Structure formats: C-alpha cells, structure tokens
Structure 1
Amino acid sequence: MSSLINAQIKPFKAEAYHNGQFVTVTDNDLKGKWAIVFFYPADFTFVCPTELGDLADHYEEFKKMGVEIYSVSTDTHFVHKAWHDASDTIKKIQFPMVGDPTGRISRDFNVMIEEEGVALRGTFVINPEGQIKLCEIHDLGIGRSAKELIRKVQAAQYVATHKGQVCPASWQPGSETLAPSLDLVGKI
C-alpha cells in the first residue's frame, strides 16, 4: 500500500445526511478548511456508534479549530437518516454523514475491505489545500478517541503555520516544539 500522506484527495461526489436534510458533498467541500474524513464499517453496529458519539461530543472543539468532520460508511444516506432517527447517540451528530454505497470513496482512501463491502476504521486529516496530513487505520474491533484526534489535528495545524518546527511525542498546545538541525542530532 503506498502512503497517502501529502497526497491530494481524489475527486468524489456523494450524498449525505446532514442536519435533517439530504445534501451533496464533494471533494471541493473539504478544501479551504481543515477536514476530517472518518470512515467506519456500518450503521446499526456496536463500536461505530461509540466512536461517532465521541466525535459528536467533541464537535464544537473541532469547529473552534476550524475543522469540519465528514463521517463515511458504505451505507446509503437513507440508512444514515434511519440510524439518526433510531439512536439517541447518533441523534447528537451535527456533521455530515456521507454515504458511500459503491465503495468508491473508501477505495480511494485505501480502507475498503472488498470481501465484506465495508470500510476499515480510517481517520484522515486533510489540510485546506486538500492534502492528507494524517492517516490512521484501525482494525474493526479497535475504537478511536476524539481527544487523541484533537491533539493530532492541533499538531498538524501548528506544523502548518510554524515552518521549520516539529511537534515531539505527546506534544500539547503551548508545549515546546523542536527545530530540526544538525545541533540536535544525537542530543534528544
């Protein structure tokens, strides 16, 4: 599998359920701001609602950071609406829930499990220019954390606005960063 880091997102057009409406989402909607594309296997499952509920609980934090979230599964936008109507956890979601019933978007992000017709748990942070800056893919049984994702987005945004600086392990906003140089080699 070739790395998707720094790759430009591929063109797509899909239907989504968002704030009580069916809307069209394209790759152009992700550009001009920071975006998270959050793949999950399927609606009406077990780990998926815990992850999406966690994202919904932290959605305002992401918005304050200038980040829009797009959750994506191989279900249709109609199934997303039905799940939204049926689940108290999913009712909290205010970000677009994108349908990918053909699996094209999932394939373009290299998360499609062909034998099952569902996506792995893939998280992609995309910068305003449409480049993938973070890619994290989990097996189906391993849930993700919105708090961990917030820290990673903060680091990506910091590096993007502070040329020549990098964020060390467990970096938090306000912590020291590093300026890679010959002087640091072997001294960390």
Structure 2
Amino acid sequence: MGIIGSTLKPFEATAFQADKDFFQVTDEDVKGKWAVFFFYPADFTFVCPTELEDLGEHYEQLQKLDVDVYGVSTDTHFSHKAWHDTSERIGKLKFAFLGDQLHTLARNFNVLREDSGLADRATFVIDPDGVIQLMEQTCEGVGRNANELVRKIRAAQYVRANPGEVCPAAWEEGSDTLSPSLDLVGKI
C-alpha cells in the first residue's frame, strides 16, 4: 500500500526546539496546518547537518506558508539539544526536532532501517487534514534540496485550494496550471 494519500498515524514524541526547550507533540497537534516531517539518520553526522541547515534557511518562508517543520531522527530529544548546543550549524535552527528513540514515527512512515535502528533520509508533507500529500526518499549519501521542497509545498497548497487544476512539471507560483480534460489528452 502506498503512503501518499494515507492519514497520519497516531504518535506522541518529545520535541526539542530552541525557543521552547522540551515539549510533547502528537498527531493531533499536527492537524489543522501543513507540516513537514524531515527524517534523517542521526545527530552528529555528515550529510544531515547540511540538509538541516538548508531547511533552516527556508524556515521563515515555510512559516509564511503556514507549514510546521519537524526534524526527526531516532535519537533522543536530549541528543537533539546537545547537538543544537554544540554545533554552529544546528544551533541556528528554529524548527522542532522530534526524538523517536522508540521508532514509532519511523515505523509509522515506513522509513526505519530495522537492522540499524536508524531512519532513512525521507521527507513527508502532511496537509491540514492529516493526509500525506508528498514524499521524497533518498539513499543515505544524497542530500535533499529545500528549494524544491518549498516549490512542491506551494504546488500542493495550490492544488488543494483550486480543485480541478493541476500543476505541471517545474511549476512555480504564478505559472500556468492545467485543467485536466479529454481535450488535453495527447495535446500537451
């Protein structure tokens, strides 16, 4: 069964966020807004801080789009705080980090590597109804691009707000969209 179009499964996790310290986040807290779950293998690693920093550079832009951001690894919330306190790159980040040491989230999103207890490098975008609209997963050595994530979120938000329209490849905000019909079949 595919994960796109499925509903966010129940969870409860302890989060660390620079301006809030530790707090609980549940699936109910996520509903009503757009959300990004940004899974990465582990704190204190190599590709992960570059991706998280890139995402952090887009955080204000995502907030303006009414998107909450959650960095998720199978580390504890204590590890997230220690990484935040000791890394210049991670110390700048303002979004929440969820501790998933029991692997609930990684299993819910089907990204847990059972043999190592680490999460795959994967991104999920959840709509305000708690439905998974976008997913990206890469191998451990390939980092993601937050510019592309923002573009995809804008497209998903546009499609949600404009039933009957779809966004073609490389669509950017303000570009033409398509209204699927038999008249378009074979003519694009």
| TM-score normalised according to structure 1 size | 0.98
- SS state at 1:44 partner: coil
Deviation sequence 1:29-64 (CA, Å, 0-9, x none): 111010000000000000000000011111000001
Aligned to 2:9: 10
Structure 2 residue ranges without an equivalent (≥5)? none
Which deviates further from its counterpart, 55-64 or 17-26? Answer: 17-26
Please state how far the C-alpha of 1:135 moved relative to its aligned partner: 1.0
Structure 1 residue ranges without an equivalent (≥5)? none
**Matches of 1:47 and 1:138 in 2, distance apart?**
12
Aligned to 2:39: 39
**Matches of 1:127 and 1:71 in 2, distance apart?**
17
Please state how far the C-alpha of 1:19 moved relative to its aligned partner: 2.0
Percent identical across equivalent pairs? 57
Aligned to 2:128: 128
Aligned to 1:173: 173
Root-mean-square deviation (CA, aligned residues, Å) is 0.7
| 1:143 maps onto 2:143 in alignment | yes
Paired letter, 2:66: G
Aligned to 2:83: 83
Paired letter, 2:172: Q
Deviation sequence 1:136-167 (CA, Å, 0-9, x none): 11111110011010000000000000000000
**Matches of 2:138 and 2:111 in 1, distance apart?**
9
**Matches of 2:89 and 2:30 in 1, distance apart?**
25
Q: Count the aligned residue pairs.
A: 187
Runs of 4+ in 1 over 6 A off after TM superposition: none
**Matches of 1:66 and 1:15 in 2, distance apart?**
22
**Matches of 2:104 and 2:62 in 1, distance apart?**
26
Paired letter, 2:128: P
**Matches of 1:163 and 1:147 in 2, distance apart?**
25
**Matches of 2:23 and 2:36 in 1, distance apart?**
18
Paired letter, 1:87: S
- SS state at 2:141 partner: coil
Paired letter, 1:11: P
